[in-house]
Amino acid sequence: MMNLYPTKKFRFPITAECISPDVFQDKKIEEIRRLTVWEGNKQRILGELFKVKESESETKMVVINIHGDVSRVRRIGAYMTSGQIVIYGNAGMHLGEEMEGGEIIVRGNVGCWAGSMMKGGKIEIYGNAGNYLGAPYRGVNKGMRGGEIVVHGNVGNEAGAYMRRGVIKVYGNAGQFAGLRMQNGTIYVQKDCEARVGACMKDGKIIVSGFLESVLPTFTIEGLKEKVKIENDETAEGPFYLFLGDTAEDGKGKLYVSKTKNPHLNRYEKLL
Amino acid sequence: MKVILVTGRTVKQGFWKEYGKFSKAYMESVSVCYMDARDMERLGIKDGTNVQVSTKHGSTILKALKSTRGKHSGIIFVPYGPWINGVVDPETDSVGMPSFKGTQAEVEPAPEKPVLSLEELLKKQFRKLNR
Amino acid sequence: MRTVKHVTCPVCGCLCDDLELTIKDEKVVKVKNGCALCKAKFLGYSKHRVLKPLVRKNGRFFEVSYEEAVSRAAEILTEANYPLLYGWSMTSCEAVSAGIELAEEIGGVIDTTSTLCHGPSTLGIQDVGISSATLGQVRHRADLIVYWGSNPLIAHPRHMERYTIFRKGRFQKEKRKLIVVDVRKTETAETADIFLQIKPNMDYEVLQALRALIRDQELDVDEVAGIPTERLEEIADTMVECRFGALFFGSGLTMTRGKNRNIDAVLSLVSDLNKLTKFIAMPMRGHFNVTGADMILTWQTGYPYAVDFSLGYPRYNPGETSAVDILLREESDAALVVASDPVASLPRKAAEHLAENPLIVVDPHMSATARMADVVLPSTFVGIESGGTAYRMDHVPLPLKKIVEPPEGILSDEEILRIILSEVKRKKAEQMENP
Amino acid sequence: MKMELIIRNGFVFDPINGVKGEKMDIAVRDGKIVERVNERKALEIDASGMLVMPGGVDIHCHIAGSEVNAGRLLRPEDHFKYSERKTATTRSGSGHSVPSTFTTGYRYSRMGYTTIMNPAMPPLMAKHTHKELNDTPMVDKGSFPLLGDWWFVLEHLSNGRIEECARYVAWLMTSTKGYAVKIVNPGGVEAWGFGHNVHSLDEQVPNFNITPREIIRGLCKVNKLLNLPHTIHVHTNNLGKPGNYTTTLETMKCVEDLAADDKPVIHITHCQFSAFKGSDWKTLRSGAEEIARYVNNHSHVTLDMGQVVFTDTTTMTADAPFQYTLHELTGSKWTNQDVETETSVGIVPFRYRRKSYVHAMQWSIGLELALLIKDPWKIFLTTDHPNAGPFTAYPRIISWLMSRRAREATMKKINRRAQSKSLLPSITRELDFYEIAVMTRAGQAKALGLKDKGHLGVGADADIAVYKINPEELDPSRDYKIVRKAFRRAAYTVKGGEIVARNGEILKHVKGATLWLKVKTSQQTKVNEDLKRRFRDYWTVEYENYPVSENSLDISHPINVEAKI
């Protein structure tokens, strides 16, 4: 088990995609200290920016613990395929970008593009996540293709944009454009959601259990549902309005919105 | 009074900025707030009365002018410039662009408060000039 | 007295190139064909000039030589860990090219004012593409013009006269139909055949509704953003029935809630319309060479703005590598501003951090930003006192002319940037020798 | 004075001078090939056991200009994993299928290429194209203005005023600093101005009293009157549509009578895209046999392949109606840019998949054309970069052309139906290094009329590529992977007499010249106020601001052309 302690409060962006179980695997602590990282435009070694300490571990799995604020450190766990990263503090942008397996746990907040384009594995965030959770890089039309992201706090805009598979669960609030252009998969928002949920979605499922500011005019009411399955044995209790859309792109995505939390939507009932 | 703040270009702002930002004409073209006539009535102010425009990001004093641009009750229009920049929402939503248009704001009459000159405004807002 | 013809106007993205200037004693005294903004620039530019390089010492400006100012600038930039190079939309492509090389050399971030105008449009294009054309194509063929969130009579005064409403074309002799969409009745809206006054921050909903309507989808709602659905149906029909439609959009879309997604929707709408008729879209680019700055950044680095060289190669991700975000996160530790006045145009919190950085300003005027600078390098007015190339909003490149001599000893942006670059290279080589 | 250089003991392939792998030395002085140099002073490259060829020439690659840049802008996703770091000698850059300019130059140079032709320049955007070409280092370059839908051309040709048309073309060629007449889907691009297209050589172009056949024939005559070094360069009507091979045959036939002295009068570019048989995508078959038969029996045509490689790429052509069809077909994002009075551009990202029947057939058709056309001087290696794949795939294509085994290895992995319909398994031909040298440099230089390029005779430009291949020891049929590797990274690339790259490393950033035609007609078009008004009326810029000035080219290399009029 490797433990990383930031040696200072970082001011410049730190790029450190080497902080990944796949990279640490089979490396001696000295080699890990010598891994390349960037601080602004200066090339450094990991050992300059972090105190690296090894500790006993019960599992064979590679585990990296980061103790402290790494909110300026970008790309932690990018491309990882196995092992575990636990961050006791806030983490920076692109956490777990394109990860394929393993697990990242953050006991704090994370920056934007967490789990961007991920294919597998799990990210669990106990604080808030920024914009573009699980969403792809600019111009890319393939978002999350598998795996699971759980956020206990709030998320920013465009969570799950271009999602093709997988699950995002948000136990707090979500920003605008959640599930933009999603094609499949599931997004669950336990609390409130800003407008434009499911914009341009083609297929897939979005569940909003809290207040939803407004439904896009291009969604049509389909019915009422008592409860909706999120994944495996987890269900969200309704009743829910079921909308289909986005008709602007001839989509047939399903948008479930809590009936009780959204009295302003009861005008749709006359269309049922 | 709660309003939605829209900032933008005006002929005068576009014209006078070419003459230099420290000119009086530039200040007069930019440190203004165009309001719907009914909103001004509701606030009990006249054309040319100073108002304080505030958001959660800051506040500024501007001269209220009656808008000639049709009815737009609930919307105030302020030309781009340093006077309003302390008030607009800097949030970029991670796309690089702050929210210059459509910010929730509060307008209140401030007839006794002066509109600052650019030099005064900069001195007030920037620590660097006071060192 | 002499006259210069076919001059390109260095003000807005229309880049009118038919100006005729009268020069007397190396001063422009008369402007023919220009709009009010154009005249203001040519007749008023020479006021409030800075004529000597300035360096701030103990809080005060001192006049110095270019050599001293450049040396100080190079020192600041060479030492920086994350310098920001901002501006670029009011200068020549040649100066931008020098700026990119400088940014690469010092491992900095170069961002343009696109970030504050049509950056979101670029993000929209990168998601869905854009069906567009040069302005002459619009002039010859369009029978329907839409201005959405833009007010050309104010921001691009000759746009309607040269390319759209008030100009005839080869295949379009009759009056064109004009639709204006805005949150208030602008000067342009007053000339419209159809004016849609929509609620602020609701453009996205209106655009998506139009997209559904042109697909013959029914809406479940009676109104969108204050506009009755039947009225939107009429607009959708008008768009479908035209022979050639052209939709111009402005910062009314890029700066409001939804930002890049408003553009995504507008471009998707126009793309969809091509199934049924011919339709094009175009962003109303503001500054005269903001398009050129985008273009040259794109061909040299692959990316149009917000390009980060800190890792030795270009990276791009607005929100991460864009000027306002970097400043709000207080990451930069030096800044170079060229041909722009961010202290007057950025939200205050961003401007504050910019001013806290060691700041180098290249500008002909004493701007609000120059007022905050540690080094001020006075430059010529591009398109008046020095030449170069600029790009019109529809990507047509045009020559900028040198019309009059600059004040004695004053260098152009390009020259200043080139000497900073060589000074930076010299300093770096020196450091390599004596680390 | 520049250094002298001698390349010793290589196996030299110089088809224009009839050299077929003889061991010899090549001497260089002042950027030119010379008889001999002072061997004690000259810098020496020991090329023993290596191939020595003229620097590669690319007759058709979209590497610069407004459409390429619109492609770059559209596709950050094409760049972010393909970055090149700045070094002490090179600039940084990015991009897979639409790389940034510096990177483009370096990548060509690493493969031993030294001259490239950018085949689609909207004249109104010529300043832009040349700015990008200025920033494309390591290679000499030229650009073809798009003329097939220019209003002046349509109007003059429809009135039968060939000479008048020729004078305007001469003016435009020189004004835009262009190198050849490019025609793309003639008439179709103008029709696209209102969202339409034309579908045969004899369909009337809307609003203009002319047909595609008349445009092609007219410009072919103009090209001859002006004595231009290259022929008209044609992207056929109906490109990319099943059944289009008949249009291609007709296009070649329609200028048959204009040929004289067995000289080519037309170049059909990226022919793969124009060699489809069948009535729809399901029944798509190869038309390569028919086209090859025609080309084998005629001498007035040259072609280039437009070879498909299986990768993610970006399609971009002036054939905007075709690009729109592609957008509808794929649902991918789409950029379009119509250019007033002249032309248009369309861009759509595209992935060629091995398992797609159509894509696999396209892959096969390109190779079939190259192998069934007997004379390598008639068909050249291109990918229509980036349309059928990026130019960096050339080494792979060389290995397919040289090795049946290489083709079979790929064949096994493609769509099964395509395997059964492909003509490739029946083709045993394997090209040798001489033929490859023709298809990748000598033939291309000859077709372009570049006198100083594509050969190693005395007086030629000292643009030379050395590859780590010993033709006496290596069997390219068997060792195709070694061939591929060697062509990917030239052992040495010499540009203008200097060693600029070695084993894939760029040693020196050199600018490279812009080649353009200074066309002289005895009687020039009179430019009076009336004509200027007409220009202003057609375009939205001033006549005076339209031309590209010579001093805007970093290194200008005008080629004087004496027209027959």
Question: Residues D127, C334: contact at Cβ < 8 Å?
Answer: no
Question: Which of C82, C208, C311 lies closest to A217 in CB terms?
Answer: C208
CA distances (Å), D290 to each of C217, C312, C348, C384, D144, in order? 48, 52, 70, 61, 29
Residues in chain A: 272
* Residue range C119-283, CATH number: 3.40.228.10
Distance CA D272, CA D291 (A): 10
Instruction: Report yes or no: D73 at the C interface, CB cutoff 8 Å.
Output: yes
Candidates B6, B92, B125, partner chain C, best to mutate (most C CBs within 10 A): B92
| Structural domains counted in chain D | 1
In chain B, residues with a C-beta closer than 8 Å to the C-beta of A176 are 93
What pLDDT score was predicted for residue B10?
Answer: 86
Which residues, including other chains, have CB under 8 Å from residue D261's CB and lie 6 or more apart?
Answer: none
Q: Which residues pair with D145 in a beta bridge?
A: D121
What pLDDT score was predicted for residue A238?
Answer: 86
In chain B, residues with a C-beta closer than 8 Å to the C-beta of A175 are 93
Task: Judge whether D41 lies within some domain.
Answer: yes
Query: Measured between alpha carbons, how far apart are the two ends of chain B, in Å?
Result: 37
Question: Residues C364, C379: contact at Cβ < 8 Å?
Answer: yes
Query: Measured between alpha carbons, how far apart are the two ends of chain C, in Å?
Result: 58
The closest of D149, D120, D302 to D218, measured between CA atoms, is D149
- The torsion of the CA quartet D413, D418, D421, D427, rounded to 10 degrees, works out to -40
Residue A14 corresponds to which tokens in the numbers above?
A: 């730190």
- In 3-state terms, what secondary structure has residue B13? helix
CATH fold of B2-129, please?
Barwin-like endoglucanases (2.40.40)
Q: What is the mean pLDDT of chain D?
A: 97
Q: How far is C123 from chain D (nearest CA, A)?
A: 9
Cβ-in-10-Å burial (0-12, 13-18, 19+) of A198 comes to buried
Instruction: Report yes or no: A179 at the B interface, CB cutoff 8 Å.
Output: no
* Residues spanned by the domain of D467: 4-54+452-506
Distance CA A2, CA A28 (A): 10
A196/C211 CB distance under 8 A: no
* Residue range C48-116+288-433, CATH number: 3.40.50.740
CA distances (Å), D502 to each of B5, D106, D159, D464, D508, in order? 61, 11, 55, 12, 10
CA distances (Å), D260 to each of D255, D263, D264, D294, D299, in order? 11, 6, 8, 17, 9
What percent of chain B clears pLDDT 90, i.e. is strictly above it? 78
The CATH number assigned to the domain holding D26 equals 2.30.40.10
- pLDDT tens readout for residues D543-563: 999 999 999 999 999 999 999
User: In terms of DSSP H, where are the helices of D135-161?
Assistant: 151-158
What percent of chain D clears pLDDT 90, i.e. is strictly above it? 96
In chain C, residues with a C-beta closer than 8 Å to the C-beta of D341 are 136, 140
What pLDDT score was predicted for residue A233?
Answer: 87
pLDDT for A50 beyond 90:
yes
Using beta carbons and an 8 Å cutoff, which residues of A are at the interface with D? 137-141
Instruction: Report yes or no: A128 at the B interface, CB cutoff 8 Å.
Output: no
D100/C302 CB distance under 8 A: yes
pLDDT for D525 beyond 80:
no
Question: Residues C411, C363: contact at Cβ < 8 Å?
Answer: no
Q: How far is B76 from chain C (nearest CA, A)?
A: 10
Structural domain spans, chain C? 48-116+288-433, 119-283
In chain C, residues with a C-beta closer than 8 Å to the C-beta of A138 are 123, 126-127, 316-318
What pLDDT score was predicted for residue D97?
Answer: 98
The closest of C241, C258, C227 to C249, measured between CA atoms, is C258
pLDDT for A194 beyond 60:
yes
- pLDDT tens readout for residues C298-326: 999 999 999 999 999 999 999 999 999 99
- pLDDT tens readout for residues C211-268: 999 999 999 999 999 999 999 999 999 999 999 999 999 999 999 999 999 999 999 9
Nearest CA in chain C to B9: C155
What pLDDT score was predicted for residue A58?
Answer: 85
Which residues, including other chains, have CB under 8 Å from residue D183's CB and lie 6 or more apart?
Answer: D146, D147, D148, D215, D216, D219, D232, D233, D234, D235
A-B CB pairs within 8 A amount to 11
A38/C310 CB distance under 8 A: yes
DSSP 8-state code for residue D356 = -
Nearest CA in chain A to C104: A41
Candidates B97, B101, B123, partner chain C, best to mutate (most C CBs within 10 A): B97
Instruction: Report yes or no: C57 at the B interface, CB cutoff 8 Å.
Output: no
Confidence tier at D2 by pLDDT (50, 70, 90): low
- pLDDT tens readout for residues B13-40: 888 887 778 888 889 999 999 999 999 9
- pLDDT tens readout for residues A145-188: 999 999 999 999 999 999 999 999 999 999 999 999 999 999 99
Nearest CA in chain A to D334: A139
ipTM score here?
0.97
Instruction: Report yes or no: A243 at the B interface, CB cutoff 8 Å.
Output: no
Question: Which of C40, C197, C350 lies closest to B18 in CB terms?
Answer: C40
Nearest CA in chain B to C46: B19
The angle, 0 to 180 degrees and rounded to 10, between the axes of the packed helices D66-74 and D126-134 is: 70
Q: How many CA atoms lie within 13 A of B118 on its CB side?
A: 23
Q: How confident is the prediction along chain C (435 residues), in pLDDT tens digits per residue?
A: 999 999 999 999 999 999 999 999 999 999 999 999 999 999 988 888 999 999 999 999 999 999 999 999 999 999 999 999 999 999 999 999 999 999 999 999 999 999 999 999 999 999 999 999 999 999 999 999 999 999 999 999 999 999 999 899 999 999 999 999 999 999 999 999 999 999 999 999 999 999 999 999 999 999 999 999 999 999 999 999 999 999 999 999 999 999 999 999 999 999 999 999 999 999 999 999 999 999 999 999 999 999 999 999 999 999 999 999 999 999 999 999 999 999 999 999 999 999 999 999 999 999 999 999 999 999 999 999 999 999 999 999 999 999 999 999 999 999 999 999 999 999 999 988 887
User: In terms of DSSP H, where are the helices of D1-56?
Assistant: none
Question: Residues D298, D263: contact at Cβ < 8 Å?
Answer: no
- Whether the bond between D558 and the residue before it is cis, its omega within 30 degrees of 0, is no
What pLDDT score was predicted for residue C433?
Answer: 87
- pLDDT tens readout for residues A69-107: 999 999 999 999 999 999 999 999 999 999 999 999 999
Nearest CA in chain D to C134: D339
Distance CA C357, CA D103 (A): 33
D100/C101 CB distance under 8 A: no
pLDDT for D1 beyond 60:
no
In chain C, residues with a C-beta closer than 8 Å to the C-beta of D123 are none
Question: Residues A243, A219: contact at Cβ < 8 Å?
Answer: yes
Residue C434 corresponds to which tokens in the numbers above?
A: 């004596």
Tell which phi-psi region holds residue C258, choosing left (phi > 0), alpha (psi between -120 and 50) or beta.
left
Cβ-in-10-Å burial (0-12, 13-18, 19+) of D29 comes to buried
Candidates B94, B97, B104, partner chain A, best to mutate (most A CBs within 10 A): B94
Do D and C have ≥3 inter-chain CB pairs under 8 A?
yes
Q: How far is A232 from chain C (nearest CA, A)?
A: 33
- Whether the bond between C264 and the residue before it is cis, its omega within 30 degrees of 0, is no
The closest of D79, D57, D53, D62 to D389, measured between CA atoms, is D62
Nearest CA in chain D to C172: D194
C320/A199 CB distance under 8 A: no
* HEC secondary structure over chain C: CEEEEEECCCCECCCCCCEEEEEECCEEEEEECCCHHHHHHHHHCCCCECCCCEEEECCEEEECCHHHHHHHHHHHHHHCCCEEEEECCCCCHHHHHHHHHHHHHHCCEEEEHHHHCCHHHHHHHHHHCCEEECHHHHHHHCCEEEEECCCHHHHCCCHHHHCCCCCCECCECCCCEEEEEECCCCCCHHHCCEEEECCCCCHHHHHHHHHHHHCCCCCCCCEECCEEHHHHHHHHHHHHHCCEEEEEECHHHHCCCCCHHHHHHHHHHHHHHCCCCEEEEEECCCECCHHHHHHHHHHHHCCCCCEECCCCCCEECCCCCCHHHHHHCCCCCEEEEECCCHHHHCCHHHHHHHHHCCEEEECCECCHHHHHCCEEECECCECCCECEEEECCCCCEEEECCCCCCCCCCECHHHHHHHHHHHHHHHHHHHHHCC
What pLDDT score was predicted for residue A232?
Answer: 87
Residue A148 corresponds to which tokens in the numbers above?
A: 């699971």
Per-window interface: C 92-111 vs B, CB < 8 A: 111
D335/C396 CB distance under 8 A: no
Question: For D104-118, b where at least 16 C-beta lie within 10 A, e where not — what string?
Answer: bbbbbbbbbbbbbbb
Which residues, including other chains, have CB under 8 Å from residue D426's CB and lie 6 or more apart?
Answer: none
User: In terms of DSSP H, where are the helices of D414-560?
Assistant: 416-421, 433-437, 443-448, 480-488, 529-538
In chain C, residues with a C-beta closer than 8 Å to the C-beta of D549 are 399
- pLDDT tens readout for residues D103-123: 999 999 999 999 999 999 999
Instruction: Report yes or no: D336 at the C interface, CB cutoff 8 Å.
Output: yes
Nearest CA in chain D to C398: D545
In chain B, residues with a C-beta closer than 8 Å to the C-beta of C325 are 92, 94, 96
Do D and A have ≥3 inter-chain CB pairs under 8 A?
yes
C260/B16 CB distance under 8 A: no
Nearest CA in chain B to A132: B94
Name the phi and psi angles at D180, rounded to 5.
-155, 165
A137/D74 CB distance under 8 A: no
Tell which phi-psi region holds residue C243, choosing left (phi > 0), alpha (psi between -120 and 50) or beta.
alpha
Nearest CA in chain C to D63: C299
C126/A139 CB distance under 8 A: yes
C17/D92 CB distance under 8 A: no
Distance CA A136, CA A140 (A): 6
pLDDT for D404 beyond 60:
yes
What mean pLDDT comes out for the span D260-278? 96
Question: Which of D66, D98, D538 lies closest to C395 in CB terms?
Answer: D66
What pLDDT score was predicted for residue C203?
Answer: 98
What pLDDT score was predicted for residue D479?
Answer: 97
Residue D225 corresponds to which tokens in the numbers above?
A: 């009157």
CA distances (Å), D218 to each of B90, D151, D175, D354, in order? 60, 14, 21, 41
Q: How far is A253 from chain D (nearest CA, A)?
A: 18
User: Percentages helix, strand, coil for chain B, rounded to the nearest 5?
Assistant: 30, 30, 40
Distance CA D365, CA C227 (A): 55
- pLDDT tens readout for residues D279-294: 999 999 999 999 999 9
What pLDDT score was predicted for residue C48?
Answer: 81
What mean pLDDT comes out for the span A130-139? 98
Question: Which of C36, C186, C328 lies closest to B69 in CB terms?
Answer: C186
Q: How far is A81 from chain B (nearest CA, A)?
A: 28
Distance CA D559, CA D516 (A): 6
- In 3-state terms, what secondary structure has residue D74? helix
Cβ-in-10-Å burial (0-12, 13-18, 19+) of A155 comes to buried
